Every structure is written in structure tokens, then in C-alpha cells.
């Protein structure tokens, strides 16, 4: 199992998974060792099935394709290698290879787009000061012909991206200075008179990232010291947090 | 930080604050200077902008500094506003329409909150154009008017019902980290 | 009008337009110049701003020019104001966007084919973020919808035009003679 415990990039589909396996096996995309890769691929899909991860049907289709290619490659060449030997026989892998190559191009392009996205992330602009509303009123009841849903969405995105100067900053800075120890103490005192426990989510009153991280670390630390107990009845159920009984803490 | 850097930062701060202007106190907080020192920097900037960016000027109202266009180019700004532009809805109206369509029924104050500016005019414009209409009153103090989109709104955007609006914030599902973690854990258990 | 004056006016126009950007066509109308000449002036301004107002910069997306803050002072802007939470695109959305941007206009089925998975949700997200829009229908059975990228796409990714998209990975090289030789050699060795 060792080789599967490598980092699982959440795969974008069968092609993505295949690319990963090929890269991991350090083999050439143009010369895939089909038997080996197929085995690994099937193993992967099987594990995903066992884990009851939602497997898109595309994964299964690809599994079938791989098995087909594998069996074709096992078939002996039909003709004797006579004069026709140089007539290139269609490699059963050909179609898959070109799909992989094509997909890989865009996967790489996506990485470059991500970089560009980050590049522009720190550039801010003010809202427009054009008084278009006055002009708008002149047209009164008319709705511009070419107005599309897209224009509305575009405007909404701009709104979301606009810098908001109104929000006071002071609160944020205060939140950042909480230490894990502080948070552990405050969580314990918060739990003190809550016999029925509290939900996990209640420990994260602040939406602020650093505060959430500190809270989470504090919870882990408290669990380690057996000062709190976390119970989850079932998968995806709310996690309940209880203060551990006094006598147990001593042990 | 060098004086030059302060100037650059102030240029950016003044710009993003736009029409609202930049409060001396806030600028001082960002620069980590006293208000006195910050004011000094802003006055320096006011001077240098005259030569460097004659199309803009820094104005001071009490403790508020604002970047505005220079008086000399006012006729051109007006020409832009009045220019033969395609009839279109303003950014303000479009934003407001988006907010209403995804949150209806909604009060004006809620819209203002989301936009961060008063939206009275924008709402009026939309009502004028029959894209938005009143829809009773909220059970809140002052019983504010609620707004919703109209049939004409659907017609205009060529959708048969509000459900057909593209889902807001619907990110394509990414296999969550949780799932990946689960995966790891089970693998470890197996070993 | 002197060249200098054009520059000043453009500074003002860019400021007023803010995040909506200034359309080349509108600017040309105001300046009474051809679009070509106006673009020339805007590019000159883009250059001179670097020295004169390092806290700001002029960006160009297609035919739209926009004044934004300089990258270097981003931390200070964020310190002042609640910056937009950078809602980054998911991997699925990014891949889909890459495919659309290099192959537009393109149908959803073609995208699915390249990615090997259904891309419906990713496409919806992109439409919702106004990065992609519909662009008519293909002359194919069922007349499927075609998709293309928007101006906003350029803006989001800081690209001034589609031509500036990074070149797609080298086409699959035909196995060169060298490679073929190697191939045969290996075969021989195996036998």
C-alpha cells in the first residue's frame, strides 16, 4: 500500500488520476506501461469504492478502457513481420496518449492562470464616480436592449471585489493576539457550567482565520491533556464537546 | 520606511477611498505615524501631485483628504459622462438588481448594507424600469418596504423562473480535504 | 491641445471611472482623437505613471484601461480596508477556464471530452463569476450552447488580451527520429 499513501491531490477526473500515476511511475506519457498503470489505476478506484467516496462513472469507463488496451496489447501481432513490418501498426494506446497529452496541456495552463490570478490579486481600484444614474433617469422606463444576465453578474462580482473602507479594523487586530494558552483557558471556562456539552462549532465564534486556527489548536491541546472530550455519534453528525470529568483529569 | 514610500502608499490609499475620502486617523494607523506626521506627508503629496499628476488634486476637508479631478479638466469629465454612450444600466443599478434578485424580498437598508452605500436612487431607477416592485413590508421596526423582482425582470433576462438564475456562490464541488484526510486515515489503518 | 493636456485629462478620466475602467472609444470621444491616437496616449501615460505616481498603475484589458493601486503597496491597502476576500477559483473551474480560453467558442461537451469528466458545474461557476459567457449556439445536432471568455476574464487574470495568454504546452512532439531510434534500440536490447 505504500505507494498509494503519497499525497492525494484531489483528482479532477480519470485523466488527472492517470497523469498522476504516470508521473509517479516516472514513465513516459508516450510509452505507458499499460499493465502496470492499469493495475494501479484499478487499485485506486477500488480503494475509493471501499471508502465509499463518490466515484464518478467516468472513472469506471476509464477502467474499462484501460483493460481493453491492456488486452489488445497482449494479442500477438497478426501478420508476420514481413515487408509490412514498417507499416506502422496502430498502437492501442494511441488514443489514450493523445487525450492525456491534450489534457496535460490545459492542466499546465491552469497552473499559469493561477499564477496570473495571484499576480493581480493585490491591485485595488475605487468604485466609479460617474454619475450615470442621472443619464439613466432620462431614459426613465426603458430597459437597455442589450442588457444580459451576465451584465448583472459582472456588476455583482465587482461589488464583491471592491475595497470596503467602512469596516473598522480595530476588532481584527485584537483577535489576532489570542494565544493558544489563552484560548484553552477560555474554552475550559466556557465549558465549565455546560453539563450537556456544546457543539464544536460554538468554539469558533470568530470568523477570523487566525482566531479559528488558534481555537482549533487549543481544542487539540485540550484533548491531548484529556481536559475535554469530543464525541461524534455518527459520520457528519455534529461534534459535541464536553469537559472531562474531574476524576479522569487527574489520571 | 522612507518618505518616498509614505507618499506612494498615500497615493494608493487616497485612490481606493475615492469619493469617500481618507480620514487622517486611518491613514496614520496604516502608516504607523502620528496624525501630525501623516498630515505633513499628505500636504507634501498635495504639493507634489500638482506637478506629477496635474489631472488630479488632493483636497483637504478638516481631517479628511480626498483625491479629486483637477478643476481645469472638468469639461472633459462632463463630456465623458454625457458622451453618446450606449444606453445601459449603471453599475449601481445592476449591483442593486443582483442583490434584490438573489435575496428577495429584501429591504432597502439590507441592500445598503451589502453595497456599503445608499441605494435609494438605484432602487428608484429599477422601479421606474419595472424590473423591481414593492412586495409588502418587513416585520421589523419601522416596517420597511420589501422589494422583489418583477415578471418583466424574468422576461428581460429571458429566464422562466428565479430558480434559473445561476446559482450564487456555487463552487464546483471539490473533493474536500476532509475526504482526503479520511482516505489517508483508512490507508494508515490498513497498514 | 498639447500632448501634456491629453495626459492630464486621461488621468482624470481614469480616476473617475475607477474599477469600471475607461473604454478606449469613450476616451477617444472625449479627447477628439482617433482610438489609435488615444491608445498611444494611454500607453504613454502608463509609462510615465511609473515614475510620477508609483503608488498607482494603469492596466489595460482589451480596449479598457483601468487605474489600480501598485502591487507593492497592497499590504497597506488591505490594512486600511477590508479587501475583497480573494475567492480563488477551484481547480476544476480553472481547468475548464483554461480549455475555454484557448478554444473559444467551445461547447460543454467538448470541454467534458478534454477533461474526461463532466464540467457542468464548473461552467456554471465561471458564468456566475462572469468570467465566461454564452456565445451563440454551435451548428451541431442539438445546437449546443457555445461559451467564450469575457473582458472580466482578462481583468481577473491580469492579461491585456487573449493573445497574451501563455503559449499552450508544446504540441505533442512527433516522436523524433532520435526517439524512434532509441525505441528500436530498446526493442533490440529486449530481445
Q: What is the pLDDT of residue A136?
A: 67
Q: Is A171 a residue whose pLDDT tops 50?
A: no
> pLDDT higher for A108 or A211?
A108
Q: What is the pLDDT of residue A52?
A: 62
Domain B3-71 architecture: Orthogonal Bundle (1.10)
A129 and C91 in contact by Cβ < 8 A? no
Q: What is the pLDDT of residue A9?
A: 41
The pairs formed by A172-175 with CB atoms below 8 angstroms and a separation of 24 or more are A172/A208, A175/A206, A175/A208, A175/A210, A175/A211
Q: What is the pLDDT of residue A51?
A: 67
Query: Over chain C, what is the mean pLDDT?
Result: 85
Q: What is the pLDDT of residue A226?
A: 84
Q: What is the pLDDT of residue B177?
A: 41
- On whether the CB atoms of residues B109 and B147 are closer than 8 A, the answer is no
Q: What is the pLDDT of residue A5?
A: 34
Q: What is the pLDDT of residue A131?
A: 65
Mean predicted confidence (pLDDT) in A133-137: 65
Helical (H) or strand (E) element with A1: none
Domain C91-164 CATH (choose: 3.40.50.1100, 3.40.50.1980, 1.10.10.10, 2.60.40.10)? 1.10.10.10
Q: Which C positions 158-177 lie with beta carbon below 8 A of chain A?
A: 158-159, 165-166, 168-169, 172, 175
Q: Is C21 a residue whose pLDDT tops 70?
A: yes
Q: What is the pLDDT of residue A26?
A: 87
A·B CB contacts under 8 A:
137
Could you tell me the pLDDT band of residue A3, with boundaries at 50, 70 and 90? very low
The residue of chain B nearest to residue C26, with distances taken between CA atoms, is B80
- On whether the CB atoms of residues A187 and A219 are closer than 8 A, the answer is yes
Residues in chain B: 191
Of C65, C98, A17, give the one whose Cα is nearest residue A8.
Answer: A17
CATH number given to A130-251: 1.10.10.580
User: Mean pLDDT lowest for which of A49-53, A57-61, C29-33?
Assistant: A49-53
Q: Is A173 a residue whose pLDDT tops 50?
A: no
Nearest-CA distance A30 → chain C (Å): 9
Q: In whole angstroms, what is the distance from residue C101 CA to residue B89 CA?
A: 28
pLDDT, tens only, C25-61: 999 999 999 999 999 999 999 999 999 999 999 999 8
pLDDT, tens only, B140-189: 888 899 999 999 899 888 888 888 887 765 443 443 444 444 444 544 45
Nearest-CA distance A53 → chain C (Å): 16
Helical (H) or strand (E) element with B89: none
Determine the number of helices (DSSP H) and then strands (DSSP E) in chain C: 9, 6
Most B CBs within 10 Å, among C73, C86, C96, C134, to test the B interface: C73
The residue of chain A nearest to residue C82, with distances taken between CA atoms, is A164
> Among residues of chain A, what percentage have pLDDT more than 70?
74
Q: Nearest by CB to A124, which of C77, C117, C169? A: C77
Q: Is A91 a residue whose pLDDT tops 50?
A: yes
C-alpha cell at C39: 491608445
Q: What is the pLDDT of residue A221?
A: 83
Q: Which C positions 61-120 lie with beta carbon below 8 A of chain B?
A: 67, 69-70, 72-73, 76-77, 79-81, 90-93
Could you tell me the pLDDT band of residue B40, with boundaries at 50, 70 and 90? very high
Q: Is A48 a residue whose pLDDT tops 90?
A: no
CA distances from B191 to A49, A51, B102, B183, C40 (A): 18, 15, 50, 13, 67
Q: Is A54 a residue whose pLDDT tops 80?
A: no
Nearest-CA distance C83 → chain A (Å): 5
Q: What is the pLDDT of residue A86?
A: 53
Q: Which B positions 95-114 lie with beta carbon below 8 A of chain A?
A: 95, 97-99, 101, 114
A5 and B184 in contact by Cβ < 8 A? yes
Would you call C9 exposed, middle or buried from its count of C-beta atoms within 10 A (0-12, 13-18, 19+)? buried
The residue of chain C nearest to residue B79, with distances taken between CA atoms, is C30
Q: Is B179 on the interface with A (CB under 8 A)?
A: yes
pLDDT, tens only, B60-93: 988 899 999 999 999 999 888 876 655 678 888 8
B30 and C128 in contact by Cβ < 8 A? no
Q: What is the pLDDT of residue B87?
A: 63
Q: What is the pLDDT of residue C86?
A: 62
Q: What is the pLDDT of residue B7?
A: 93
SS3 (DSSP) at A243: strand
Nearest-CA distance B140 → chain A (Å): 24
Buried b (16+ CB within 10 A) or exposed e, C17-49: bbbbbbbbebbbbbbebeeeebbebbeebeeeb
Q: In whole angstroms, what is the distance from residue A149 CA to residue C128 CA?
A: 9
Nearest-CA distance C116 → chain B (Å): 16
Partners of residue C176 in chain A, C-beta under 8 Å: none
Q: Is C88 a residue whose pLDDT tops 80?
A: no
pLDDT, tens only, A96-111: 999 999 999 999 999 8
Q: In whole angstroms, what is the distance from residue C115 CA to residue C99 CA?
A: 9
Domains of chain A, by residue range, sit at: 1-122, 130-251
Q: What is the pLDDT of residue B182?
A: 47
Q: What is the pLDDT of residue C115?
A: 92
- According to the per-residue pLDDT averaged within each range, which of A70-84, A111-125, B103-117 is highest? B103-117
Q: State if pTM tops 0.80.
A: no
Mean predicted confidence (pLDDT) in A208-227: 80
Q: Is C16 on the interface with B (CB under 8 A)?
A: yes
A108 and C86 in contact by Cβ < 8 A? no
Dump the DSSP string for C103-142.
Answer: H-SEEHHHHHHHHTS--HHHHHHHHHTTSEEEEEE-SSTT
Bridge partners of B67, per DSSP, are: B58
Could you tell me the pLDDT band of residue A219, with boundaries at 50, 70 and 90? confident
C124 and B73 in contact by Cβ < 8 A? no
Range(s) within chain B of domains with CATH label 1.10.10.10: 3-71, 91-164
pLDDT, tens only, C107-130: 999 999 999 988 998 998 899 888
Q: Is B43 a residue whose pLDDT tops 90?
A: yes
Amino acid at each position: 500500500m505504500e505507494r498509494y499513501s503519497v499525497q492525494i491531490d484531489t483528482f479532477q477526473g480519470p485523466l488527472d488520476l492517470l497523469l498522476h500515476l504516470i508521473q509517479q511511475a516516472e514513465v513516459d506519457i508516450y510509452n505507458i506501461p499499460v499493465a502496470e498503470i492499469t493495475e494501479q489505476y484499478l487499485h485506486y478506484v477500488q480503494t475509493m469504492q471501499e471508502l465509499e467516496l463518490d466515484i464518478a462513472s467516468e472513472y469506471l469507463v476509464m477502467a474499462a478502457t484501460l483493460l481493453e488496451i491492456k488486452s489488445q496489447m497482449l494479442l500477438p501481432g497478426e501478420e508476420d513481420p514481413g515487408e509490412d513490418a514498417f507499416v506502422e501498426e496502430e498502437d492501442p494506446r494511441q488514443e489514450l496518449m493523445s487525450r492525456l497529452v491534450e489534457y496535460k496541456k490545459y492542466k499546465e495552463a491552469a497552473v499559469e492562470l493561477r499564477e496570473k490570478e495571484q499576480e493581480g490579486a493585490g491591485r485595488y481600484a475605487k468604485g466609479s464616480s460617474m454619475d450615470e444614474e442621472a443619464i439613466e433617469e432620462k431614459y426613465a422606463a426603458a430597459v437597455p436592449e442589450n442588457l444580459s444576465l451576465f451584465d448583472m453578474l459582472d456588476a455583482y462580482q465587482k461589488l464583491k471585489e471592491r475595497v470596503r473602507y467602512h469596516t473598522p479594523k480595530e476588532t481584527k487586530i485584537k483577535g489576532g493576539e489570542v494565544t493558544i494558552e489563552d484560548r484553552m483557558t477560555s474554552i475550559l471556562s466556557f465549558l465549565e457550567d455546560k453539563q450537556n456539552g456544546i457543539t464544536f462549532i460554538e468554539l469558533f465564534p470568530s470568523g477570523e482565520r487566525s482566531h479559528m486556527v488558534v481555537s482549533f489548536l487549543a481544542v487539540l491541546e485540550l484533548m491531548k491533556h484529556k481536559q475535554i472530550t469530543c464525541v461524534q455519534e455518527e459520520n457528519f453528525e455534529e461534534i459535541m464537546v464536553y469537559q472531562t470529568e474531574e476524576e479522569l483529569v487527574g489520571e | 520606511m522612507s518618505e518616498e514610500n509614505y507618499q506612494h502608499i498615500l497615493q494608493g490609499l487616497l485612490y481606493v477611498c475615492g469619493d469617500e475620502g481618507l480620514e487622517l486617523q486611518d491613514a496614520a494607523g496604516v502608516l504607523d505615524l502620528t496624525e501630525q506626521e501623516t498630515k505633513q506627508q499628505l500636504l507634501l503629496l498635495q504639493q507634489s501631485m500638482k506637478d506629477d499628476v496635474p489631472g488630479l488634486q488632493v483636497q483637504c476637508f478638516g481631517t479628511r483628504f480626498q483625491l479629486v479631478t483637477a478643476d481645469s479638466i472638468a469639461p472633459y469629465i462632463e463630456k465623458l459622462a454625457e458622451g453618446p454612450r450606449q444606453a445601459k444600466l449603471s453599475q449601481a443599478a445592476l449591483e442593486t438588481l443582483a442583490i434584490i434578485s438573489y435575496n428577495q424580498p429584501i429591504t432597502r437598508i439590507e441592500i445598503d448594507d451589502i453595497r456599503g452605500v445608499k441605494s435609494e436612487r438605484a432602487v428608484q431607477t429599477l422601479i421606474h424600469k419595472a424590473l423591481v416592485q414593492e412586495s409588502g413590508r418587513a416585520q421589523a421596526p419601522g416596517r420597511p418596504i420589501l422589494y422583489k423582482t418583477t415578471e418583466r425582470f424574468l422576461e428581460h433576462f429571458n429566464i422562466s423562473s428565479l430558480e434559473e438564475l445561476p446559482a450564487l456562490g456555487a463552487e464546483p464541488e471539490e473533493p474536500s480535504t476532509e475526504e482526503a484526510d479520511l482516505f489517508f486515515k483508512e490507508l494508515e489503518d490498513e497498514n
